[in-house]
Amino acid sequence: MKVTADKVNSSLVKEVEEISGQKVSACFQCGKCTGGCPVVSSMDIFPHLVLRFAQLGLLEELLHSKTLWICASCQTCDSRCPRDVDIPKVIEALRLLLLRRKGGNRLHPANLSDRVRADAPQQGLVSAFRKYAK
């Protein structure tokens, strides 16, 4: 992993900012988002580092990260963020960059577990397909 001027100036970062409506430069890396994230232990890039990577244009790393698919959009982080950055929106934008690519879907009806098939509420299924497929 290396920071270069080209990466920092990457147009992808601007795209993320456009889709999310958030300014990644606003983050000052206090880590309050990460400390409070209920699913952080399953993430490979912590929420505050998502912002840091985006600030430095390390988009490739972000687009390969598990974190994008772990975030539950519970919005605990942005409700506490002292810089008013809506981190789930940034993660959503990164997710959309991938989902909008051809074959980008992450969840297929065939892959649902038996339990989910049998018992899951519609709310959960609709949410999951909104998040993991286009």
Partner 1 sequence: MRYSYYPGCTLKTKANNFEKTALRTAGALGLEMVEVPEWQCCGALYPLNTDELFPLLAPVRALAQAKEAGHGTLVTLCAGCYNVFKRTNREMSRNGEVRRKVNGYLQEEYTGEVNVLHYLEVLKKEVGFASLAEKAQKKLTGRKVAPYYGCLLLKPRDEMDFDDVENPTIFEDFLRALGAEPVDYPYKTECCGSYLSMADEEVAATAVGRILLSARKSGAELLVVACPLCRYNLEEYGRELTERTGGEASLPVLYFTELLAEALAVGSETYGEEK
Partner 2 sequence: MRRTGVFICWCGSNIAATVDIDLAVAAAKKMPGVVFADQNKYTCSEIGQEMIREAIRTHRLERVVVAACSPRMHENTFRKTVAAAGLNPYFLEIANIREQCSWVHKDKETATDKAIALIRTAVAKAARNEALFASELPIERRALVIGGGIAGIQAALDIAENGFVVDLVEKEPSIGGRMAQLDKTFPTLDCSACILTPKMVEVAQSEKITIFSYAEVEKVEGYVGNFTVTVRSRARSVDMGKCTGCGDCMLKCPVKVDSEFDLGLIKRRAIYTPFPQAVPNKPAIDRENCRWFTAGKCRVCEKVCPAGAIDYSQEDELRTEKYGAIVVATGFDPKKLDNYGEYAYGKHPDVLTSLEFERLLNASGPTGGKILRPSNGRPPKNVAFIQCVGSRDKAKGNPYCAKVCCMYTAKHAILLCEKVPGARPFVFYIDVRTPGKDYEEFYNRAYEEFGATYIKGNVSKVFPDGEKLLVRSVDALSGALVELEVDMVVLANSVDARAGAKELAQKLSITTNAYNFFNEAHPKLRPVETHTAGIFLAGTCQGPKDIPETVAQASAAAVKVAALLGKDSLLSNPTVAEVNEKLCTGDMSCLAVCPYGAISEKMLEERRGRETVRRKVAEVNMALCQGCGACTVACRPGAINLKGFTNEQIMAEVEAICL
Residue 53 contact among partner 2, partner 1, none, beta carbon within 5 to 8 Å by kind: none
Nearest CA-CA partner of 20 in 78, 104, 107, 101: 78
The one among 8, 30, 74, 126 contacting partner 2 by CB under 8 A:
30
- Longest CA pairwise span in the chain (Å): 51
Residue 29 contact among partner 2, partner 1, none, beta carbon within 5 to 8 Å by kind: partner 2
Cβ-based nearer residue to partner 2, 21 or 82 = 82
Q: Which stretch binds partner 1 (CB under 8 A): 5-13, 24-32, 49-57, 86-94?
A: 86-94
**Is residue 85 helix, strand or coil?**
coil
49 binds partner 2 (CB under 8 A): yes
Phi and psi, residue 102, nearest 5°: -65, 135
Sign, CA dihedral 102-20-2-69, equals negative
Residue 126 contact among partner 2, partner 1, none, beta carbon within 5 to 8 Å by kind: partner 1
120 binds partner 1 (CB under 8 A): yes
CA distance 25 to 108: 35
